């Protein structure tokens, strides 16, 4: 595959108003910040964007707002279109094509215990819906089960399927997949251990905390490309400390609270997601105010 897609992508979050409805202006402010960090691109409408809780109409509007803000910035735009309904997924895919997105991605069909053949048929239909390259998805923590290696190989062989976002700690499985289909793209989805997958030769990362710390993850990527393991480890430690805090606050609620602390209002997360921990603001501000952390915030 072409190198034009390699690198680091923020799994873009969603701006909501106080009632939980999509807020175009908050989305614009957030997108402008994220797009200005030197990342390779934006991954729009995924789990980090609360897509599982949003209506397809809101996701269609988000695609449009992000495309408008990102125009001329050089960011590659990947539209995540994986909804439980194939019809909704195809509608999102065709809208992304019309708006000039560069690629698509999709969770496997979820919400029910679909068979391997049903999952294969879903990806076959989605890949055929447009001529955009499709990044498929392995994420057992979201779907409830890992997809068999043989099924992933079959899916990667479909026309228009360009690669996979691999969000699993089974890095041996990822390596076996890469050996069997070396011409595909491999993106890793766990922010806190990206450098481990980077050392195994993935083509980039797609992550939630990249929204706030995109510059940090670009530096981790550059350190790995330069074979500077010590530098990658040092920077990865900062990422891990942040993720440890987010596990206490709730990942997306904590991310939105962190953005608020640096002056960017993303709004709340959609219910039932809510901020946790006894004093989340203290946990987050204590971290964000450290000198070794502040240098990575792009204000």
Q: Active-site positions?
A: 137, 165
Cα–Cα distance, 180 to 175 (Å, whole number):
9
Instruction: Please give the biggest Cα pair distance in the chain.
Output: 51
- Angle, helices 149-156 vs 171-180, to 10°: value is 40
Per-residue CA distances from 18 to 124, 259, 271 (Å): 39, 15, 11
Which among 214, 204, 186 is positioned nearest to 12, based on CA atoms?
214
The answer to whether residues 177 and 153 touch, using CB atoms and an 8 Å cutoff, is: yes
Cα–Cα distance, 230 to 219 (Å, whole number):
12
């Amino acid at each position: 595959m072409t190198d034009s897609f390699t690198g680091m992508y923020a799994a873009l979050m969603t701006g909501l108003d106080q009632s939980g409805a999509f807020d175009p202006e908050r989305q614009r402010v957030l997108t402008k910040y994220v797009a200005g960090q030197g990342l390779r691109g934006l991954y729009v409408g995924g789990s980090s964007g609360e897509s599982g809780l949003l209506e397809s109409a809101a996701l269609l509007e988000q695609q449009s707002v992000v495309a408008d803000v990102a125009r001329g910035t050089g960011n590659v735009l990947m539209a995540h279109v994986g909804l439980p309904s194939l019809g909704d997924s195809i509608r999102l895919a065709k809208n992304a094509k019309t708006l000039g997105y560069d690629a698509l991605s999709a969770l496997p069909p979820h919400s029910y215990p679909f068979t391997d053949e049903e999952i294969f048929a879903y990806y076959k239909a989605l890949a055929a819906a447009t001529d955009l390259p499709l990044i498929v998805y392995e994420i057992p923590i979201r779907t409830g089960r890992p997809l068999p290696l043989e099924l992933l190989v079959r899916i990667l062989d479909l026309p228009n399927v360009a690669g996979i976002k691999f969000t699993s700690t089974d890095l041996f499985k990822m390596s076996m997949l890469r050996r069997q289909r070396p011409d595909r793209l491999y993106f890793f989805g766990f922010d806190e251990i990206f450098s481990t997958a980077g050392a195994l030769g993935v083509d980039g990362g797609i992550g939630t905390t990249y929204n706030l710390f995109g510059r940090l993850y670009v530096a981790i990527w550059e350190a790995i490309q330069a074979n500077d393991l010590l530098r990658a480890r040092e920077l990865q430690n900062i990422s891990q400390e942040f993720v440890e805090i987010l596990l206490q606050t709730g990942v997306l609620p904590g991310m939105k609270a962190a953005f608020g602390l640096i002056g960017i209002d993303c709004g709340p997360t959609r219910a039932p997601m809510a901020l946790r921990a006894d004093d989340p603001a203290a946990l987050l501000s204590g971290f964000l105010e450290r000198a070794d952390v502040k240098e990575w915030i792009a204000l």
